[in-house]
């Protein structure tokens, strides 16, 4: 029974280790696949390492604080970043409207709200929902970040993400 279970686990894990390929099809579309098609020059895609959690010894002593580090703020968030944005390609938004997701941990506190920062300027209305919409953004290069605010006070800001917005120009 134990070996059967081990074999099943190995079979499940095999697809996770498969190589991913990127190529352009006959219509000019970028295609990602788990196999390299015949007669097409496909580039292997390097994927970032999978998430992993290091085991910790029970009741491990806390790491000593370094004197040059600032103490962590009690209202700071462990994770605050934008997600769902293309990193290697332009974001296609024909009318300049698109949504972004905010990864935040722990959950947004009741008094706090999220506000986008587009090209280093506050953008739109603050919200307590981690899905934010941008409307009629000009084509071209932009910097986008998200802030946690409490009233007019900025509590924390995510690292800025560079993105390129592509809009179709119709004559």
Residue 134: how many CB atoms within 10 A of its CB?
Answer: 19
The backbone torsions φ and ψ at residue 6, rounded to the nearest 5 degrees and listed phi first, read -65, -45
Digitized pLDDT (tens) for each residue of the chain, 171 residues in all: 677 766 666 556 555 556 777 888 888 888 878 777 777 888 887 766 666 666 766 665 555 444 433 334 566 899 999 998 887 888 888 888 888 999 999 999 988 999 999 999 999 899 999 999 999 889 899 999 999 999 989 999 999 999 888 887 655
The answer to whether 113 and 127 have CB atoms below 8 angstroms apart is yes
Q: What is the DSSP string of 95-124?
A: TS-EEEEEEEESPPPTT-EEEEEETTEEEE
Read off the pLDDT of residues 127-141 as tens digits, 9 standing for 90 and up. 999 999 999 889 899
Tokens of 166: 């592509």
The answer to whether 42 and 21 have CB atoms below 8 angstroms apart is yes
CA 82 to CA 74: how far, in whole Å?
22
CA 103 to CA 100: how far, in whole Å?
10
Going from the C-alpha of 7 to that of each of 1, 13, 14, 19, the distances in angstroms are 10, 10, 11, 21
**pLDDT computed for residue 159 by the predictor:** 93
**pLDDT computed for residue 27 by the predictor:** 84
**pLDDT computed for residue 66 by the predictor:** 43
**pLDDT computed for residue 94 by the predictor:** 83
């Amino acid at each position: 029974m134990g070996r059967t279970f081990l074999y099943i686990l190995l079979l499940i894990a095999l697809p996770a280790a498969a190589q991913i390929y990127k190529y352009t099809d006959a219509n000019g579309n970028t295609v990602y696949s788990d196999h390299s098609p015949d007669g097409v020059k496909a580039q292997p895609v390097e994927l970032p390492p999978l998430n992993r959690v290091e085991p910790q010894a029970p009741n491990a002593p806390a790491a000593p604080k370094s004197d040059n580090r600032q103490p962590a703020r009690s209202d700071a968030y462990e994770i605050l970043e934008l997600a769902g944005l293309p990193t290697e390609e332009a974001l296609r938004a024909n009318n300049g409207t698109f949504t972004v997701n905010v990864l935040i941990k722990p959950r947004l506190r009741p008094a706090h709200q999220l506000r986008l920062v587009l090209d280093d300027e506050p953008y739109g209305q603050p919200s307590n929902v981690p899905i934010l919409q941008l409307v009629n953004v000009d084509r071209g290069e932009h910097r986008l970040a998200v802030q946690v605010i409490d009233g007019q006070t900025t509590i924390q800001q995510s690292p800025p993400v560079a993105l390129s917005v592509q809009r179709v120009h119709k004559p």
